[in-house]
Chains A and B, each alone.
Chain A
Amino acid sequence: EVQLVESGGDLVQPGGSLRLSCAASGLTFSNYNMNWVRQAPGKGLEWISYIHSGGNTIWYANSVRGRFTISRDNAKNSLYLQMNSLRDEDTAVYHCATSGGYRFGYWGQGTLVTVSS
């Protein structure tokens, strides 16, 4: 069974930093392109970042470019999201998700990030 388990969500003040992790099991992680997708409370889904299976191609949404950094460690079957200069509007549940064929396949349940003073 494929499992994606996010961790690292917390309450953080505006301007602060946080690092999210996504631990993958039940799949050959190094074969999968990975993404972070977030959902603000009561709001819709927002794709925020993509990293190719080999880590050599990375994309960001305009809303996070320059503040967030996606990375992966295939040896540890893990995906990361370093979030800096956090804003109130970054408050959301952050999901990691695989992508293939231009759609998202497996999703984690998400980790909650709350940005508030």
Chain B
Amino acid sequence: QSALTQPRSVSGSPGQSVTISCTGTSSDVGGYNYVFWYQQHPGKAPKLMIYDVTKRPSGVPDRFSGSKSGNTASLTISGLQAEDESDFYCGSFAGNSWVFGGGTKVTVL
């Protein structure tokens, strides 16, 4: 049950694309297609942005997309907007548990 590895921060200018990586193991990210991504603004509850690696809940803009290769999942934000500035957490089902990443702060320059 070790935490997934995410970069501590990424940044981009408005309109640019940024990608956040999320590296786990064959026991979590690599072993299940149940990777998810949450966005969290300060003092707020997490909001689901991507689930089952690539799926977007209703209401999430298609600027957000997910993918996975082996033990590493990725979240890409295209057309970066000011309101995207927040923390993003990846996570994965891991059998009889879940594991999260340490979080990535997205800064819009």
Contacts and interface: CB of A to CB of B under 8 A. Distances in A.
Interface in B80-109: 89, 91, 93, 96-103
Contacts, number: 57
A83 B36 CA distance: 28
Contact of A104 (B48, B96, B101): B48
A35 B48 CA distance: 15
Interface stretch (A8-16, A17-25, A74-82, A106-114): A106-114
A26 interface: no
A103 B89 contact: no
Interface residues of A, number: 21
Contact of B45 (A47, A61, A110): A110
B101 A108 contact: no
A34 B69 CA distance: 30
A109 B45 contact: yes
B100 A47 contact: yes
A23 to B, nearest CB: 15
Interface of B: 1, 3, 32, 34, 36, 38, 45-46, 48, 51-52, 89, 91, 93, 96-103
Interface of A: 35, 43-47, 50, 59, 61-63, 95, 101-105, 107-110
18 contacts: A44-B3, A44-B102, A45-B46, A45-B91, A46-B100, A47-B99, A50-B98, A62-B1, A101-B51, A101-B52, A102-B32, A102-B36, A103-B36, A103-B48, A103-B52, A104-B46, A104-B48, A105-B48
